[in-house]
Amino acid sequence: MKKLITLLLVSNALLVTSFLATAVTASEHAHGSVAIEHPWSRPTPPGTPMGVGYLVIRNHSDRDVTLISASTPRADHVSMHKTLMKDGVMRMEPLKDGLAISAGEAVELKPLSYHLMLEKLTEPLKEGETIPLVLEFEGAEAVEVELSVQSLDADMKEQEMDHSGHKMDH
């Protein structure tokens, strides 16, 4: 009986190892030269029409690529923006020409910087769920990821900001 259990455990370990190796290879192939790290979002209150998407895009190729669009079944439209402070007013400026990622470089989409806006949500984003997202690139293959909806206070260090005296304009 011990030998049978040991054989089953070893077989299962080999199967899992084989699956993970295949998944890594398939993932590398599917993403080509672009790697996506830490895709995440925030929960939204009921009735809120917009959510956000943050992630890191790494370009491992020797040529520039551009994030030109994104889509998710959870929103009618996904747009790309950069948050800027201009004349004491915080503004979100659309990236109409996409977001360039230079060869060998990385760009982080994060609070108060570059970010994705998930517009006209089909339902609120809930903490703990994952949101499917397809990123389309010029110069690289499309990448499918899942935004992990994190708590409202996740990554607070990056988001600390005194909003007193500032207006937000979109």
CA dist 125 and 78 (Å) reads 14
Encode pLDDT of 94-136 as tens digits: 999 999 999 999 999 999 999 999 999 999 999 999 999 999 9
**Of 76, 114, 121, 75, nearest in space to 94 by CA:** 114
* Angle of CA points 63, 66, 72, to nearest 5°: 140
Answer positive or negative: Cα dihedral of 135, 37, 124, 66: negative
Looking at residues 7-24, what average pLDDT do you find?
35
What phi and psi, each to the nearest 5 degrees, are found at residue 77?
A: -150, 145
Delimit the domains of the chain by residue range: 1-31, 34-154
CA dist 54 and 20 (Å) reads 26
Tell me, which fold does domain 34-154 have in CATH? Immunoglobulin-like (2.60.40)
Encode pLDDT of 49-70 as tens digits: 999 999 999 999 999 999 999 9
Residue 153: the pLDDT is 79
Whether the model pTM is above 0.85: no
**Residues 41 and 149 sit within 8 Å (Cβ to Cβ):** yes
